[in-house]
Structure 1
Amino acid sequence: MPGFDVQYVLLAALAIALVIAAFTDIKERRIANWLTGSIAVCAPLFWWATGLSLWPGVALQFGVAIAAFAVFAALFAMKWMGGGDVKLLTALALWVEPTMFLRLIVFMALIGGVLTLLMGMWHIMRRQRERLAIPYGVAISSAGLWVLGSHYIPQMQGGIAG
């Protein structure tokens, strides 16, 4: 099939997984292990499809994922972050180039801040007393989709056309 690129299929699958993660986090306040596991397991297919070298490419992806897990697991231990969020971010670190992953984290924090403010106001307006639970998977997924749309899709189109 002319113009068919497995990268697009993998990126579309990742985008769908991110949307599912956001919706399940809104609905159930959890992100399923099978979903984050699937994202992580498919990362090597993406590396292969993009021609990522073992050294330093794959090694760097693993390094960033391990560092992300360490930082976010510490936040989980302090009860500042959910376990599903930690696993989703770690799985995304396997897919996203290190510099783009840092941008993803900044964008996630901005979206998460706005989400927290909006949900906090809603919580106060409804005079609810229970602890506020923020579905941070929405911020993570939104930032991930932003990275896919702003970096990977245009980059691949430039590679195909150019």
Structure 2
Amino acid sequence: MLGEYFRLALVCALALLLIVASVTDLRARIISNRLNLTVAALAPLWWYASGLPLWPGVGVQLLAAFIVFSAFALLFALGCMGGGDVKLLGALALWFPWQATLSMLMLMALLGGGVTIVTVVHHRMTRRLGQPQIPYGIAISLAAMWLLGERYLNHFA
């Protein structure tokens, strides 16, 4: 029983961090390193609370996070994505099984398209100069929160 409350507290903490990431990315186009580090640092507590075995469980989580981070770091190098977004994705990949991480990335891409459209329309309506900066942290956070909520919402299905 206590373990379930601890897991729920960790899920709530992650959700709160994701909300903060969305708001700061929307307002300032920045997701802080401190926030990303906190998300990553809470993952081992999640592993422990979830009973994830050290091998192969934790090893697979670390490998998946490395692959996600590396793939999106390449997009950062090409100028397609912000550094905070890349670090947030890598940190989130520590939390979810690799299959769920793939689902999160697919949902993130769909939501990111919507965020991009809204941002470009707003940029043009306000007649701003230059290229708009897309607050992709919103799409990342919404996709991750969807996965977090799915565990509890599908429980009733």
- Normalising by structure 2, we get a TM-score of 0.94
When residues 109 and 28 of structure 1 are mapped into structure 2, their CA distance, relative to the original with a 3 A threshold, is same
d(CA) in 2 for partners of 1:62 and 1:98?
Answer: 10
What is the aligned-residue RMSD (CA, Å)?
1.7
Write out per-residue CA displacement over residues 25-69 of structure 1, whole angstroms, 9 at most, x where no aligned residue: 011110011110011011000000000011111111001000001
2: CA distance between counterparts of 1:15 and 1:130? 33
Stretch deviating more after TM superposition (131-140 or 115-124): 115-124
Residue 141 in structure 1 maps to residue 134 in structure 2: no
3-state secondary structure, aligned to 1:79:
coil
- Residue in 2 aligned with 1:44? 44
Tell me by how many angstroms 1:154 deviates: 4.7
Specify the alignment match of 1:85 in structure 2.
Answer: 85
Deviation readout 1:114-145 (Å, 9 max, x if unpaired): 11111111212222222201110000000010
Separation in 1 of the partners of 2:23 and 2:129? 24
Distance 1:57 1:81, change over 3 A: same
Query: For 1:64-83, what aligned pairs fall within 5 Å after superposition?
Result: 64-83=64-83
Aligned partners of 2:64 and 2:94 also within 8 Å: yes
Residue 112 of structure 2 contacts residue 139 of structure 2 at CA under 8 Å; is this kept in 1?
yes
What does the per-residue CA deviation read over 1:138-160, in whole Å, with 9 as the maximum and x for residues that have no partner? 00000010000013x357x68xx
C-alpha separation in 2, matches of 1:127 and 1:3: 52
1: distance between equivalents of 2:8 and 2:16? 12
CA distance in structure 1 between the partners assigned to 2:30 and 2:18 by the alignment: 13
How many pairs are equivalent? 156
Say which SS state the counterpart of residue 94 (structure 2) adopts: helix
Instruction: Tell me the equivalent position of 2:131.
Output: 131
Give distance in 1, aligned partners of 2:8 and 2:27: 28
Q: Which residue of 2 aligns with 1:25?
A: 25
Give the TM-score normalised by the residue count of structure 1: 0.91
**Which residue number corresponds to residue 150 of structure 1?**
150
| Corresponding residue for residue 95 of structure 1 | 95
Counterpart CA distance in 2 for 1:11 and 1:2 is 14
Stretches of structure 2 lacking an aligned partner (at least 5 in a row): none
- In structure 1, list runs of 5 or more residues that go unmatched: none
Read off the aligned partner of 2:144 and give its amino acid letter. Answer: G
